[in-house]
Amino acid sequence: MPLRVCNFSLLLTTPILMFRQTRPPDPDQDLVTRAQQGETRAFDALILKYGDRLYGLVYNMTSHKEDTHDLLQEIFARAYQSLGKFRGNSAFYTWIYQIAVNLTLNFLKKRKRRTSLSLNDMDSPVQQDPALIDTTHEANPEKQTNLNELQIKLNEAMRKLSDPHRMVVTMFDIQGMSHGEIAKVLNTSEGTIRSRLHYAHLQLQSALQDSWEERF
Amino acid sequence: MKPSVEQLGNLLALQRDERPEEGYWQGFLCEFHQTQRERVVEKSGLMNGLGRISAWFSDLGPSKWAYGAGLAYAAVTVAFFLTPRDVEKENTPASPVSYEVVSPPTPPAVEQLNQLDLSPSTQGNIGEQVF
């Protein structure tokens, strides 16, 4: 009789164990706990750890350095104030990335309403950033110029995309995130992400068509 | 000729290394801490202000009820004047509606009623149960 009870309990627990997704421990758990206890240096370490990636996300969305700086201040301030509510249901990085995405999309909506920002008001990252110069083309200045012009065209085309489409392209192609990760952050299905990416890629390909024919 | 998705991805990936200039994060952290300190001071100032008001109010003794009533009266008056009046609605002209009144169908006569035994012996008295 006890054996039967034991089997029954196994039957109940096995499916749960089979389908439970084991999440790897958050690498930032220690820093987050210390920051939650009021240690400001721990939060500074988190800023320094993820600052560059969040900067990339926000800057590629806003194309404006001052806006990026202000938004990053707001993102980290919001995270710092809400740190007490962070229960570790997701990794800290996913959590702060979601905050960044939401605040950035809200900011872009407000900016659109406030003023229609001219393309000339925006920074052109490729022209100004020496890190983006392709070193493989150093010996061929003409090819490098072509590439820069292509990048400028690409940035213009990116700005013409809607915010959700640009966000998906930024996360997938620039930040190198997977469809699943993007879906989790944007709280939507992978199918939606794939569909948005497909549409955005078609738009970008069409926008680059003329320049591509000329250059290559 | 269009670039392939892969070529497009390669072009976009060039922007992966987009980073702020060196020393940016030091300045960023200074500004962040400064803002946080200001917020804490602002918050504590607000809390102090509220604390002072509540302390002053409780020190008033029995007259606090008079002050309270006066404040409530003022609040109601302000609310009365600030509430927007109802805008008169335009009367829409009544248009005649014609429809056919359908008389309800007459129920079929219950023939079984005649077959029921309604003799006094089976009816019983009102309010009484006959066993």
Give how far A49 is from chain B: nearest CA, Å. 11
CB contact under 8 A, B1 and A51: no
CB contact under 8 A, A201 and B5: yes
How many separate domains does chain B show? Answer: 1
Q: What is the pLDDT of residues A126-154, one digit of tens each?
A: 444 444 444 445 556 666 677 788 888 88
Of A69, A73, A205, the CB nearest to B8: A205
CB contact under 8 A, B12 and A169: yes
Question: Is residue B115 domain-resident?
Answer: no
Question: Is residue B27 domain-resident?
Answer: yes
Q: What is the pLDDT of residues B81-123, one digit of tens each?
A: 888 776 555 666 777 777 777 888 877 666 665 666 666 655 5
CB contact under 8 A, B36 and A80: yes
The whole domain housing B39 covers: 23-83
Q: Which of A4-13, B65-74, B80-89 has the lowest mean pLDDT?
A: A4-13
Whether residue A181 has pLDDT greater than 60: yes
In this structure, the dihedral spanned by the alpha carbons of residues A172, A175, A180 and A184, taken in order and rounded to 10 degrees, is -110
B-chain residue closest to A70, CA distance: B28
- Give the Cα-Cα-Cα angle B51, B32, B19 (nearest 5 degrees): 160
Structural domains in chain A, CATH included, are 26-123 (1.10.1740.10), 125-216 (1.10.10.10)
Of B2, B13, B25, the CB nearest to A48: B25
A-chain residue closest to B19, CA distance: A52
Radius of gyration of chain A measured on its C-alpha atoms: 22
Whether residue B42 has pLDDT greater than 60: yes
Whether residue A123 has pLDDT greater than 50: yes
Region of residue A88 (phi > 0: left; psi between -120 and 50: alpha; otherwise: beta): left
What's residue A14's pLDDT? 47
- What's the token pair of residue A130? 């020496």
Burial B38-48 (b: 16+ CB within 10 A, else e): eeeeeeeeeee
CA distance A32 to B108: 81
Chain A neighbours among B 7-36 (CB < 8 Å)?
8-9, 11-20, 25, 28-29, 31-33, 35-36
Strand ranges for chain A from DSSP E: none
